[in-house]
Amino acid sequence: MIICDNCGSDMRFDPAQQQLVCSHCGSKVNPHDYDTEHAIHADESAQTADDTYEATLMTCPQCGGELLTTDDTAATFCSFCGSSVLLNSRISHEKRPDYIIPFKKTREDCLHAYRSALKKALYAPSDMKREEQIEHFRGIYMPYWVYSFNKNSAFKTRGKTQHRRGDYIVSRHYSLTSDINASYEGLSFDGSSSFSDNLSEAIAPFEFNESERFAPGFLSGFYADTNDVSASVYQTDAKDIAASHAAGELSRSREYMKYGVDTYSLANSLQLNAGKPKLAMYPVWFLACRNKKGDRVSYAVVNGQTGKVAADLPVDRKKMFLGTLLLAVPVFLLLNLLLTLTPGRALIITIIIGLIGMILANRQMNLIYCFENKLDDKGYMSLQDPWDTAKKKEPAQITFEGGALRTLIVVAVIVVLFVLQGLFDIPFGGMLTILGMFFLIKSLIKPSGTKRRKVKKVIQPAPFSEKMKTLWKPIAGIAASLAIIVLAPVSDLYYYAAAIISMIFVAWSFWDILSMHNRMTTRPLPQFNTRGGEEYENK
């Protein structure tokens, strides 16, 4: 605890004034001044070394999550699993970070930003909007690794231009040499396995130019997460970002543009010099909300510097059902106004909706597999035991699914065939649609082929055996409609019956998609292993 010299009360950092403020007499002190002139505790003999600081380490007995604080107030709930328990505490000497971005946004700013964001979330559960739940927002400094790169030397690369001369294409190759002076600082990646990459990326960026030299006084009144992810985990990613930006700037310059320099090759050949990674603390307002069953948790975070909000927002099924019902009525009336709903067209509409459901369900299953196994979180994956084959899974890669592109083409062809058959009664249309369905299902079985095209999005395919638990429903509905199209019975009753059966299966599959969305926006209760990995290193 930081003690006021004037009255002996505790002092806390005030984001609005950017000062340590006494809760009793209102005295103000600069955190840096207090750090250099006083001990953190009342006994000056307890002053720690310059490269460490003394703090209270609090550990959740349920999930193992750890928080640091310079206050002596006991924490009564866990920010990571949302449980209302008294956290175990002990004195710990922590490595002193190099930098800190103090909280700029006050608690009131955080609550206002969060309430404003939830106003747009019409289908969010009411529990997430309760004031007693919102009051659990806690200010936590999250550890971030800060990377720097520079290039101040001669650089050689190649260029190529082409032009037509008569029947020939003339290519000219150039060897280019230039002096480059580039410097990058402040490329940041979170250094805690308890702070998932997708949340940290959602509230980025932090403005590193507003950072200050670390002083423990900034932590007074707040908490800090422990750092357990090695600096080497994200160093390559940071270097790629810097190299790509530098290559883009060079390729757009007048000198390079006229020689046809390839940006991708330029980024690969541009060898930037890496500085030693620095450890920093960035401000985050953090909230954990348990669901009604108490077996899953959703997070909401607010950037304590900029006020940017990101949240896991499940969907309240009752609200969603009522909203869909209200929307379905005008859509149905509009379709009847613009299009005469014949039995054949009814089947076409149900099949198209079923195909959309298949594609959405397939993608959701892939995302859930990646999300729940944390394959898109490099920090978490770096701490897993590489010899534990039971838990070993291939990390998610940044790829564009060639299978997804083929799927879209097949779907487009099928839709065209359905429309032509329904409008013009083209023969063999039913057989052609069945053939198209075969290629569609084949592409879904192996959604990410070996042929990778363009770097675009993180996707990891789930096992097809797991997907079939959901995909069989739209497939069954589509099969029922296709059977009637192929058999072409005389009575319209068969068409309407097939359309109703198909829509039941499609509605069932969309209900599953909604459930999958809620799985994607809630997380299993965390169970952290022993924390405290390599805190301060440069490999």
In the prediction, which pLDDT does 447 show?
A: 39
Nearest C-alpha neighbor of 516 from the set 477, 475, 466: 466
CA–CA dist 528, 539 (Å, integer): 24
Strand pairing report for 278-290 and 99-100: parallel
Nearest C-alpha neighbor of 56 from the set 194, 219, 213, 218: 219
Q: What region, left, alpha or beta, does residue 171 occupy, with left being phi > 0 and alpha being psi -120 to 50 degrees?
A: beta
CA–CA dist 217, 31 (Å, integer): 5
CA–CA dist 118, 314 (Å, integer): 12
In the prediction, which pLDDT does 362 show?
A: 80
Q: Tell me how far apart the terminal alpha carbons of the chain are, to the nearest angstrom.
A: 35
Nearest C-alpha neighbor of 158 from the set 52, 270, 75: 270
In the prediction, which pLDDT does 397 show?
A: 39
In the prediction, which pLDDT does 276 show?
A: 92
Identity of the amino acid at 277: P
User: Would you give the DSSP letter of residue 393?
Assistant: -
For the chain, the residue count is 539
In the prediction, which pLDDT does 144 show?
A: 95
CA–CA dist 23, 413 (Å, integer): 70
Nearest C-alpha neighbor of 363 from the set 530, 537, 520: 520
Question: For each of the chain's 539 residues, which pLDDT tens digit applies?
Answer: 778 888 878 888 999 999 999 888 888 888 888 766 554 444 444 444 568 888 888 888 888 888 888 887 777 788 888 888 778 888 888 888 999 999 999 999 999 999 888 888 777 877 777 888 888 899 999 999 999 999 888 888 887 888 888 888 888 888 888 888 888 988 999 998 888 888 898 898 999 999 999 998 899 889 999 888 889 899 988 998 888 888 888 888 777 777 777 777 777 778 888 999 999 999 999 998 888 787 888 899 999 999 999 988 888 777 777 776 776 667 667 766 666 667 777 777 787 778 877 887 887 788 777 777 777 778 777 777 554 434 444 444 333 334 444 554 555 555 555 555 554 444 444 545 544 554 555 444 443 333 333 333 445 677 777 777 788 888 888 888 888 877 878 888 888 888 888 888 888 888 887 888 888 788 888 877 544 433 334 43
Helix (H) or strand (E) holding 175: strand 168-190
